[in-house]
Amino acid sequence: MSVNRGTFVERRDVNEDFQQAGHSRAEWAEADRVPERLVPTHCSFCGVQCGMHLRVADGQVIGVEPRDYPHNRGSLCPKGVVAYQQVGHPERLRYPMIRRGGKGGQLERATWDEALDYVVGRWKQIQEYHGKDAVAVYSGSSMTNEKCYLTGKFARVGLGTRHIDYNGRLCMSSAAAAYAKAFGIDRSPLPMTDIPLADCVFVAGSNVAECFPIMMQWIWQARDRGASLIVADPRETPIARTADLWLPVRPGTDVALLNAMLRQVIEDGLVDEAYLAARTTGWEDVRAAVQEYTPEVSERITGVPAERIVAAARLYGRAPTSLIMHARGIEHSTHGINNCLACINLALARGQVGKPGGGTMMITGQGNGQGGREVGQKANQLPGYRHIDVLEERQYVAAVWGIPEPEIPQEGAAATEMVNLMATGEIKSCLILCSNLMVSLPDNAVVARALDTLDPLVVIDFFLSETAERADVVLPGSVWCEDEGTTTNLEGRVVKINAAAQPPGEARPDWQILSDLASRLGRGQFFPYQSTREIWDELRVASHGGISDYFGITWEKIEAQGGVFWPCPTEDHPGTPRLFTERFGHPDGRARMTAIRYEPPAEEPGDDFPFRLTTGRVVYHYLSGTQTRRLGFLNAQAPEPWVEIHPMMAERLGIRDHEMVRVRTPRGSMELKAVVVPTIRPDTLFIPFHYGHAGAVNQLTNPAVDPTCKIPEYKVCAATVERLDVAPGSHGATGTGDAAGPRQNYTPESDPKMFPYAVGETKTPASREGKRH
């Protein structure tokens, strides 16, 4: 199912939307103007980071033109072609604001000096009385590498707090942890341009056609060469509709599917024993662990017919070159790391990883989701993927920063854990950069209460997001093309973002705001930058010798080569598009295989909540929608959330297509339009997650997290749906096949680490589980 504007507004002309629905100053009619210059840069949205040219006239961005970059070759998706409309948007934040009159007061205009002095004054007070860690930093991953690096340094050197983490924690920290564990390096092993070399593409939990539309051209090329396509997803998404095999897997049961496929590959004699012997460890344990997952056992757990599982294993296993592409569908899980490791086991068993066009590829969601986790804004990492608990790595970074090693704080709370520390008063103030927690974190009623305990809550952003609305101080920052810098796309390719405009009004580039705050904190000598190039050059040195070594990547080289893949340790090194061709990243050069067993999701359906609710993206929006809900054309196509329900269940519950319904989970309820589609499993509901306030599906989702990487389980929780004229809970069970009654496999009491909001934990140097992830 893929919605479009017809789902919401019937019989309107598409051109009318293009002409009328945009709200920005750079209107569509201006696309005819002749630009004074074209600025080569990249899209602000997803991890593909398509190249584009921005059209600039009179100092304003007036449109976009194609750019023939190696991985998008001139193409842009619907989001990319209107991204420029953010620049002159009338809702941009143009001056600082302070909430006057306490928490119940209004955000009112302030001067920069007033706002920054107020924030720094409060931080000094708080840290004097409650310690450095009472102030936290929570940042985004759609920012440039330079901003992400500076944010990590600001937290640790400017504020001296250990609590710094970023919203990539919510995105794909499970995949990152799995790749680090299995391969020793957290990066997709091959470029997108390798995809056409595959004879079989297996997409596990990714709605590629809607979430990463420009990647599809590489998959189509593989198809044109005769490659088969398998898609595992609870919904028949646009890419699933074109697949040779769609595996409609029950949300939260991926390991049972992947292990059964591996078992069948073994049964059919398709394992590459020579590769396993030469390049891996742990294979015998994996072989033994998958034996219990017969096709029939897997069918009972996953809901995928046994014969389809066998067919998928054979299609995948018999292909000379096969590629598994995975994303949030398997990663947003309390077993997210295991799900990714099960994919990796399958690919290693076939001897595919390190081969052109073969192996596994994680599809990073955020624009700089890859770079954002490499440059030192993650709770447990320093720049270059250096580990914050390894003395030599701390010493190296301390020397670059010019501070004694002991001054670098130890590991702090993960983003999901910070909410609990706010609620309990351990964190008293937080600086949030370009991240919309009120839409993106699960169980957002708890998040709202936690944010409201902060004094002050400080937000740097360029639109007044649902989170900024709650702030005590709002500092207006810059959009992506108002500054220079780099991002690292989902391939590990570092690309260059160029400036096309100035921030509007009194808004400032984010790096200048951070440097100013550091200066007022008395730490200005560590933030002497005059430009983002100086930050980049420092980051290159800070990453040198680390896993993600950027040292040899200059801005000039990026432009000359069409991006540079890390690691790139010297200026004459060409970069590394393909990893693991000869050896993996572990000291012995071998990949680690891990025996994985299926464990159910944290919350399963029962009589009161008989469905599995899953969430995801649509083509017209990006993440929390802070940007795309303000871009007229995009918002006109999908202006509000909806719930997808299968016709069989809709009929049983008396729900008609387009009727307003109530969806409830143990955490809350919301009212929204039902869209009755045959493209979803009957036991599953789907709601897109891009909306705020009453439209936020994260009113309903479960805050349970993977105990190691702390990623929340957005992709499955127990839910029910009912007509609005039915009293909540009165219709009883629907007979979806989960008749065992309400069941929680993990409760806050039985496994507190999975419920960070309910119990939480405070890390100490001695209790850092999963410290290398």
Longest dimension (CA), the chain: 72
CB atoms within 10 A of CB 32: 8
Length of the chain: 773
What residues contact residue 177 under an 8 Å CB cut-off, 6+ apart? 186, 337, 340, 708, 709, 770, 773
Minimum distance, C-beta of residue 358 to ligand SF4, in the bound complex (Å): 24
- 3-state SS assignment for residue 489: coil
Distances (CA, A) of 48 to 78, 488, 563: 14, 9, 12
Minimum distance, C-beta of residue 47 to ligand SF4, in the bound complex (Å): 7
DSSP structure string for 60-72: EEEEEEE---TTT
Residue 216 or 229 having the CB closest to ligand SF4: 216
Residue spans of alpha helices (H) in 191-294: 208-211, 216-224, 238-241, 254-267, 273-279, 283-289
Residue 112 or 220 having the CB closest to ligand SF4: 220
Q: What's the CA gap between 480 and 44, in Å, rounded?
A: 6
Q: H or E segment at 98?
A: strand 97-100
Residue 80 or 376 having the CB closest to ligand SF4: 80
Minimum distance, C-beta of residue 217 to ligand SF4, in the bound complex (Å): 10
Minimum distance, C-beta of residue 77 to ligand SF4, in the bound complex (Å): 3
Q: Give phi and psi for 179, each to the nearest 5.
A: -65, -40
- 3-state SS assignment for residue 596: coil
Q: Which of 117, 133, 120, 131 is nearest to 422 (CA)?
A: 133
Residue 209 or 687 having the CB closest to ligand SF4: 209
Minimum distance, C-beta of residue 370 to ligand SF4, in the bound complex (Å): 13
Q: Are 433 and 146 in contact (CB under 8 A)?
A: no
Q: Are 480 and 511 in contact (CB under 8 A)?
A: no
Minimum distance, C-beta of residue 704 to ligand SF4, in the bound complex (Å): 30
Minimum distance, C-beta of residue 309 to ligand SF4, in the bound complex (Å): 31
Residue with tokens 């017919």: 305
Q: What's the CA gap between 621 and 351, in Å, rounded?
A: 37
Residue 41 or 338 having the CB closest to ligand SF4: 41
Q: Are 254 and 304 in contact (CB under 8 A)?
A: no
Minimum distance, C-beta of residue 409 to ligand SF4, in the bound complex (Å): 35
Q: Which of 675, 612, 665, 671 is nearest to 644 (CA)?
A: 675
Question: Can you give the binding site for ligand SF4, defined by CB under 6 A?
Answer: 43, 45-46, 48-50, 72, 76-77, 79-80, 212-214
Assigned token pair, 703: 């805050």
Residue 47 or 756 having the CB closest to ligand SF4: 47
Bridge partners, 476 (sequence order): 461
Cα dihedral 302, 305, 311, 314 sign: positive
Residue 416 or 488 having the CB closest to ligand SF4: 488
Cα distance from N-terminal residue to C-terminal residue, the chain: 35
Minimum distance, C-beta of residue 210 to ligand SF4, in the bound complex (Å): 10
Residue 324 or 490 having the CB closest to ligand SF4: 490
Minimum distance, C-beta of residue 84 to ligand SF4, in the bound complex (Å): 11
Minimum distance, C-beta of residue 208 to ligand SF4, in the bound complex (Å): 10
Q: Which of 261, 347, 357, 336 is nearest to 306 (CA)?
A: 261
Q: What's the CA gap between 441 and 477, in Å, rounded?
A: 22
Q: Are 82 and 633 in contact (CB under 8 A)?
A: yes
Q: Are 384 and 542 in contact (CB under 8 A)?
A: yes
Residue 145 or 322 having the CB closest to ligand SF4: 145
Minimum distance, C-beta of residue 79 to ligand SF4, in the bound complex (Å): 4
Residue 5 CA from chain centroid, whole number = 25
Residue 215 or 454 having the CB closest to ligand SF4: 215
| DSSP secondary structure letter of residue 235 | B
What residues contact residue 364 under an 8 Å CB cut-off, 6+ apart? 47, 171, 172, 188, 370, 489, 490
Minimum distance, C-beta of residue 622 to ligand SF4, in the bound complex (Å): 7
Minimum distance, C-beta of residue 83 to ligand SF4, in the bound complex (Å): 7
